[in-house]
Amino acid sequence: MLEIAEFRDEKIELQAILDSGIFSRAPHLLSFLTYVCERYFRGEADQIKEYTIGVEALRRPAEFDPKRDSIVRVEAHRLRRRLDEYYNNQGASHRVRILIPNGQYVPRFVLQENHSEADPQIAATTEPRSVDNLIPNVIVNAFTTAPATSLPHVAPSPRGWKWAVPLLGLGLAIALILTLSHHRPAAAFHEEVFGGSSTQPVPAEYRMMAGYHGPQFTDRQGHVWNPDAYFSGGASEPIAPDHRIDGQPDEQLLKSQRTGKFRYDIPVAQGNYELHLYFAETDYGPGNPLGGGETSRLFQVSINGQPVMERFDPLAESGGPNRLLVRVFKDIVPASDGKLHLAFTPFSTPGRANTSDAFLNGLEILQSSPGRVHCVRIVTQDHPITDLEGHVWSSDEYFFGGMLATRDIPVVSARDKSLYRGERYGNFAYRIPLAPGKYRVTLYFAETWFGTPEARQSGSESRRFNVFANGAPLLQNFEIAQEVGPGRELAKVFENLQPNSRGALWLEFVPLENYAEVNAIEVEQMD
């Protein structure tokens, strides 16, 4: 029988550190520590080298040269300092301490002298936990077989193992086989088995945050986002809470990702669906931890076995790092087994290693009519509204640049005055994700500043600006007040507009005199 207790105390200590939250804003330190510890547990300490840490833990490309790139040495220094701080504070009474000696990368596990067996840290890890949290963590910590970018976030329960064994059944047998094979990451094993196996169809409107394992989250649109589920393979990775992502619908939304080679098998009811995939490149690109630029990451996405995105380069597609990128697909139907199968695979060519892991930040599955996608309605306000016809307009999203302002000046003769209580102004753009097709775009304007007594007193009389759709001019030398006067509704309609090759309609508002502005945007698919 396998030695389940091997490195028991060391693994408990590692889990306690991960649970402590000291790496909540330092995902690379988390990857560094878990990688070197897992290799040590597997008896592969001789393979813990600067190059392997850089490539396998910190995700540098295969051509990584430690002599030219000091990231491993820098992160090791930061990790030592973080561990010192930990053991000088909340970990001061721990029975085992993890050290990374200066000039080395192989971890040392130091047993503290005169340590009481009743140590609260050790005792806390032996308290029984709910079966939902207990089983996966017991398996992972007892049967660790390879390095992983992260470990389960709930401490293992040695006492709970005794009563959990009868519940494991076939899962335990699978764990034993995988342990003997010595080729699968611990986190990947945990998540492949426990990613969600329910066959109950998800709701007709379903949203999920990839790599997130907390409670449901309601964004400022009122949409409910579920934790990660129905996955196999890959690993969960956090994104630092202060890492800004431009264009995302809620600042608290894209804070995690699933990365590696992975898939989702999501049960859905029979019908037609619209699928949205969310990406934001937060690893590669100028200013990001791994540097590089376009082609740093390439991967493939398939739906029900059919490739829909090949050689996908999120950095190039979004035009820069840390920008929201959404791809929309229409007429998605479940496979014959009643599931939607999504596969994310790192791209490789003969003679060249995979450039990097695939990743996903989130997804939406929305029931729709065949051949149709949902209308996009946006008001430049900080909360959604429902108009007089019962249509819901999302609060301001998909924007880049500009400022949001609230206007209290009434708009006369407006179809619905609620559309004009806010405006985005400045030099700005919207990148609205759409499925291929032809669309009718309506831009809603009302001049509630220039032409008013307040504006005249300040010496400002008018505004002029251009509007472009994917680079083509829609409005030139446009003056709202010149056409209808101040405080009046003006709707401009444009037909047969199509998304660009990146699956988005880019609307640019470029000032000529003073600032451009818009109050609402409506995008409807044409028949």
Q: How far apart are CA 354 and CA 260, in angstroms?
A: 11
In the chain, what's the furthest Cα-to-Cα distance? 86
- Of 134, 169, 194, which residue is a domain's last? 194
The verdict on residue 449 lying in a domain is yes
Closest by CA to 179, choosing from 137, 146, 225, 209, is: 146
Considering the domain architecture, whether residues 125 and 209 belong to the same structural domain is answered as: no
Question: Are 397 and 380 contacting, i.e. CB atoms less than 8 angstroms apart?
Answer: no
The verdict on residue 2 lying in a domain is no
Question: Mean pLDDT: which of 124-138, 270-284, 395-409, 411-425 is highest?
Answer: 270-284
Taking only the tens place, the pLDDT of each residue in 320-343 is: 999 999 999 999 999 999 999 999
Give the pLDDT band (50/70/90) at residue 349. low
**45-59, 154-168, 217-231: which has the minimum mean pLDDT?**
154-168
Give the pLDDT band (50/70/90) at residue 452. low
Considering the domain architecture, whether residues 184 and 312 belong to the same structural domain is answered as: no
Taking only the tens place, the pLDDT of each residue in 151-166 is: 333 333 333 333 344 4
Instruction: Say how many C-beta atoms besides its own lie within 10 A of residue 66's C-beta.
Output: 16
Considering the domain architecture, whether residues 101 and 232 belong to the same structural domain is answered as: no
Closest by CA to 186, choosing from 234, 133, 228, is: 234
Give the pLDDT band (50/70/90) at residue 506. very high
The answer, yes or no, to whether residue 137 has pLDDT greater than 60, is no
The verdict on residue 3 lying in a domain is no
**89-93, 117-121, 167-171: which has the minimum mean pLDDT?**
117-121
The answer, yes or no, to whether residue 150 has pLDDT greater than 90, is no
**% of the chain residues with pLDDT over 90:** 51
Q: How would you classify the pairing of strands 464-469 and 385-386?
A: unpaired
The verdict on residue 1 lying in a domain is no
Contacts 24+ apart (CB under 8 A), 380-386: 380/404, 380/422, 380/423, 380/424, 380/518, 380/519, 380/520, 381/406, 381/421, 381/422, 382/220, 382/422, 383/220, 384/220, 384/221, 384/222, 385/418, 385/419
**60-74, 112-126, 150-164, 345-359: which has the minimum mean pLDDT?**
150-164
**In which residue are the tokens 């669309």 written?**
439
What's 45's DSSP letter?
Answer: G
Identity of residue 332: I
Taking only the tens place, the pLDDT of each residue in 455-482 is: 556 556 789 999 999 999 999 999 998 8
The verdict on residue 136 lying in a domain is yes
Using alpha carbons only, give the angle 108, 180, 183 rounded to the nearest 5 degrees: 70
Considering the domain architecture, whether residues 441 and 496 belong to the same structural domain is answered as: yes
Question: Are 105 and 53 contacting, i.e. CB atoms less than 8 angstroms apart?
Answer: yes
Instruction: Give me the domain span that covers residue 103.
Output: 8-194
The answer, yes or no, to whether residue 116 has pLDDT greater than 80, is no
Buried b (16+ CB within 10 A) or exposed e, 424-438: bbbebbbbbbbbeee
Give the global pTM: 0.65
**% of the chain residues with pLDDT over 70:** 79
**49-63, 217-231, 296-310, 356-370: which has the minimum mean pLDDT?**
49-63
Close Cβ partners of 336 (under 8 Å, ≥ 6 residues apart)? none
Q: How far apart are CA 236 and CA 196, in angstroms?
A: 14
Which pLDDT score is estimated for 60?
83
The verdict on residue 179 lying in a domain is yes
Considering the domain architecture, whether residues 402 and 313 belong to the same structural domain is answered as: no
Which pLDDT score is estimated for 269?
96
The verdict on residue 23 lying in a domain is yes
The answer, yes or no, to whether residue 193 has pLDDT greater than 50, is no
Closest by CA to 144, choosing from 262, 1, 9, 6, is: 6
- Of 194, 229, 251, which residue is a domain's last? 194
The answer, yes or no, to whether residue 249 has pLDDT greater than 50, is yes
The answer, yes or no, to whether residue 315 has pLDDT greater than 50, is yes
Length reported for the chain: 527
Q: How far apart are CA 430 and CA 437, in angstroms?
A: 18
Which pLDDT score is estimated for 141?
34
- Structural domain total, the chain: 3
State the chain's mean pLDDT as an integer.
Answer: 81
- Of 314, 341, 367, which residue is a domain's last? 367
Query: Which run of H or of E encompasses 12?
Result: helix 8-20
Considering the domain architecture, whether residues 211 and 189 belong to the same structural domain is answered as: no
The verdict on residue 199 lying in a domain is no
Which pLDDT score is estimated for 437?
95
The answer, yes or no, to whether residue 169 has pLDDT greater than 60, is no
Give the pLDDT band (50/70/90) at residue 85. confident
Considering the domain architecture, whether residues 485 and 349 belong to the same structural domain is answered as: no
Considering the domain architecture, whether residues 397 and 331 belong to the same structural domain is answered as: no
Taking only the tens place, the pLDDT of each residue in 478-499 is: 999 889 988 899 999 999 999 9
Structural tokens at position 345 = 């695979």
Buried b (16+ CB within 10 A) or exposed e, 91-111: beebbbbbebeeeebbbebee
Considering the domain architecture, whether residues 354 and 414 belong to the same structural domain is answered as: no
Considering the domain architecture, whether residues 189 and 224 belong to the same structural domain is answered as: no
Which pLDDT score is estimated for 346?
92
CATH number, residue 358: 2.60.120.430
Give the pLDDT band (50/70/90) at residue 198. low
Considering the domain architecture, whether residues 221 and 257 belong to the same structural domain is answered as: yes
Answer with the residue of higher pLDDT: 202 or 55: 202
Considering the domain architecture, whether residues 112 and 250 belong to the same structural domain is answered as: no
The answer, yes or no, to whether residue 53 has pLDDT greater than 90, is yes
